[in-house]
Chains A and B, each alone.
Chain A
């Protein structure tokens, strides 16, 4: 059956209900440019989404050398043909007229001017060489993205760690997913998603902790909606201060005060233990640390948590009842936990919940520590963030030696005297002056990092040489010394891996504009110009294109948890996504779930990390880990609640929390250039609850300043059902499309939520806190009746719909969908 839907107005499309234990029915979504009929498409080119961490498989429609639309891949395990709004419309940004088409360098007058590649690369190479001679490798840092491909991250990791020899390499995945990785390392000794998206098909209870799935991973939410519409639907638990779409579907909704997740989770664990919902056999066979946890949460009654979290004790009991009674429990965790106070400590308590209940390694008993960025998993595997490639342990000399063998360098070449430097520390080193060159690829820290006035000051320093590699002249690129025009998705080939370890191949469909180059080619060019050598004098980087880079990565991954040795471009081409580990002998078809039989990667000899103190972040030493966990079982780690570092005051009486929303993605570089997405959420807004708005004498559409101790944002107000005492700002509205809104020199209000956020991060995962700042709200101007520019379709649904026109996309937003396997 073919039909069409306005997928701005109906973001999750039509339902295809299904029951527990049956496969998710296919539904193929197709969106083609206006006037392009399906039979006018010349080629369909295989790829997957990089606009969120679902990794939805899709085909790019090509005509006359241009991208003219997209279609979901019905055979794929992740999306079964469905696409989310960002997938359906986001591709149009590729063809924007303001793409960078030539390199730029800053000239003598301080202006960025066009040049050729040789000029730009020479400038980078001569600066890098000079710094290496004068100041050593610690003066050079790399800050990459969550949107490049595996081959690119791996090449970058080899080049930075063994070529330059710097410890300063991280991704913006630090903002989005480092807590997921850290929480998995703390509990299982190693990164790697335990569960599978297929667990949605089997679960009887789904608990979403700080995870606004309908907006961050709309296709996975379609799967949940289809279960909810089918026979014997799962019951949902939602933990979120806002009344999100999840909350509206939940059996129990807890809206805790920001920054109190650990207290809430400790109370839930208290109840699980008190009511004896513990799977004793599982705990005895597969874990260490239960007694300590039981002792720690003993005083954490629902009444105790109610006082801290400001939720009714009865609701906590109800939630615990739901979790305790589940037979197949699926939990998912995202930014409400990861970007909040005590991020890792809280995420680890969700792991503990699953260990206590024995909910691991079988269908429906799933644990998904989610990713925010789409290719975040690859930065982690490849060591382009705070890990060594292949989940190797920097504290384990044997692992470093093994990596040195793979790269044919001496172990001393690879910095491993301390953990790889995290992004915020790199910016600190730059601020301090010890880091003098920062190469930023595919990300936009001038909008995405906390406390933007500080970030602008750091990037604007004379002594810091900044290279920015991107598609557009972003807010960050405008501050750079050299700007390199990059090719993007659809214009280059590579692989990437989603949040449940599914690897997809993304093929080049069209040529990049002008002289833009694939990120891989840029890195390879740099490596060649720097003449990086291995220990025998041969070239350090031995590959020359995506497929040979992939083969090199496979050798690096061999024998490690993220083993790719069974994968190849040939296997992925034409087929569907495959979950690692995938090995030729043991798992040729990939691996749906980890920990189906014990927790092998926690063994002291193989684990990726010995863990950290959940409050202080201090590293656990190898000897200590060995005595704590000699056999390598899962570690149950207790954590005490610690009050947030910033607290409300009479001057700043509200908690400020920020978040991603349905129609925009990472600094809107692409989504802001897709007409349907930009029109659906054209501008920043602020949200208050009805009571809070009333107390402030404010109403829908009023223009307000949200003021924190760091800065201010000017936005129109949306009055929406959420908890009192909190103001919400959608993040990542910047300045490229509205330069006049930039904050003035004396600290006038801006447009980007991060003008206000605090520079503070979780001491364990080093993920910055974007959810727990404090603020006040001040009226600037009454509304003339115009409502806030916030969409009505999702979390920002107005409390009183009168006078607020519903968000629609119109004819250009119509998407056809075909249900059934014959979809393609």
Chain B
């Protein structure tokens, strides 16, 4: 295990957890329709990144296979969506949404920094395969960051200036 494999492992973990966070936010905010739908689209990118990392990791002697099925998760998520719909017309979900978007922004920024580190290392090590992966995945991570940022910008004035 060297720095590159460490980074691959950390990045794989971070992408998996970002995917989970995105899906979690989509479920919690089923009545914030744009967030709900687009967060699911964005989760797909993280899923694909994790799969590519797992694939590439193999070449570095890492076992980054997918863990756990999605069976019970799907059920839980259906329950959460219902609950979110029931709560969706109270004012508090606005604050919760901003909080979640902030967390997503930070999580995606963390992933982005790992990609940055990996790309730099790949260049230094002249590892074309890693570099190619980083340069095709990293832009999508940055788009995830900007997406969260845009929503925070749009929603904050309304949610934070009204009476609570």
Contact = CB atoms under 8 A, between A and B. Distances in A.
Specify whether A and B are partners: yes
Nearest to B40: A645
A429 interface: yes
Given A135-B163, A418-B153, A428 B33 contact: yes
A761 B33 CA distance: 8
A135 B162 contact: yes
B103 interface: no
Contacts of B89: 431-433
A418 B160 CA distance: 14
A645 B88 CA distance: 20
A685 B41 CA distance: 34
Given A432-B93, A616-B38, A618-B149, A138 B157 contact: yes
Contact of B32 (A167, A428, A433): A428
Interface SS majority for chain B: helix
A780 interface: no
A617 B42 CA distance: 11
Given A419-B154, A431-B88, A613 B162 contact: no
Nearest to A434: B162
B93 A760 contact: no
B2 interface: no
A434 B143 contact: no
Nearest to B91: A433
A281 B5 CA distance: 47
A415 B153 CA distance: 13
A616 B154 CA distance: 14
Contact of A616 (B147, B157, B163): B147
A134 interface: yes
A478 to B, nearest CB: 21
A136 B161 contact: yes
Interface SS majority for chain A: loop
A132 interface: no
Contact of A434 (B41, B91, B154): B91
B24 interface: no
Contacts of B153: 417-418, 619
Contacts of A766: 34
B157 A417 contact: yes
A759 to B, nearest CB: 5
B162 A618 contact: no
A136 to B, nearest CB: 6
A524 interface: no
Interface residues of B, number: 30
Contact of A418 (B32, B90, B146, B157): B157
A645 B32 CA distance: 14
Interface string A135-162: 1101100000000000000000000000
A738 to B, nearest CB: 30
Contacts of B157: 138, 167, 415, 417-418
Nearest to B153: A418
A431 B33 contact: no
Most chain B CB within a 10 A radius of its CB, from A135, A139, A433, A766: A433
A615 interface: yes
A763 B41 CA distance: 11
Contacts of B41: 615-616, 642, 645
B150 A434 contact: no
Interface in A613-651: 613, 615-619, 642, 645
Contacts of A134: 163
Interface in B131-148: 143-144, 146-147
Given A432-B91, A434-B94, A138 B161 contact: yes
B64 interface: no
B27 to A, nearest CB: 14
Interface residues of A, number: 32
A424 interface: yes
B84 to A, nearest CB: 13
Interface in B89-140: 89-91, 93-94
B33 A613 contact: no
B110 to A, nearest CB: 18
Most chain A CB within a 10 A radius of its CB, from B40, B149, B157: B157
Interface string A664-691: 0000000000000000000000000000
Contacts of A618: 143, 146-147, 149-150
Interface string B36-80: 011011101000000000000000000000000000000000000
Most chain A CB within a 10 A radius of its CB, from B90, B150, B161, B163: B150
Nearest to A645: B37
Nearest to B45: A615
A416 B32 CA distance: 22
A136 B144 contact: no
A617 B41 CA distance: 12
Contacts of A424: 33
A415 B158 CA distance: 12
A415 B156 CA distance: 13
A794 B4 CA distance: 64
B154 to A, nearest CB: 5
B17 interface: no
Given A616-B42, A616-B143, A619-B150, A434 B159 contact: yes
Contacts of A616: 38, 41-42, 143-144, 146-147, 150
Given A418-B153, A424-B33, A428-B33, A617 B162 contact: no
Interface in B1-48: 31-34, 37-38, 40-42, 44
B43 to A, nearest CB: 12
A18 B49 CA distance: 57
Interface in A545-583: none
A459 to B, nearest CB: 13
A142 B36 CA distance: 25
A761 B32 CA distance: 11
Contact of B34 (A421, A617, A642): A617
Contacts of B150: 616-619
Interface string A413-441: 00101110100110011011110000000
A175 to B, nearest CB: 15
B124 to A, nearest CB: 26
Contact of A613 (B91, B94, B147, B161): B147
A418 B32 CA distance: 18
A613 B143 contact: yes
B38 A617 contact: yes
Given A136-B161, A616-B144, A618-B150, A432 B37 contact: no
Nearest to B34: A763
A460 B108 CA distance: 40
Nearest to B37: A645
Contacts of B42: 616
14 contacts: A417-B153, A417-B157, A428-B32, A431-B31, A432-B93, A616-B146, A617-B150, A618-B147, A618-B149, A619-B150, A642-B44, A645-B41, A760-B34, A763-B34
Interface of A: 134-136, 138-139, 167, 415, 417-419, 421, 424-425, 428-429, 431-434, 613, 615-619, 642, 645, 759-761, 763, 766
Given A135-B163, A433-B90, 6 more contacts: A431-B31, A433-B89, A434-B159, A616-B146, A616-B147, A760-B37
Q: Nearest 6 CB-CB pairs, A to B?
A: A618-B146, A616-B147, A618-B150, A618-B147, A434-B162, A418-B154
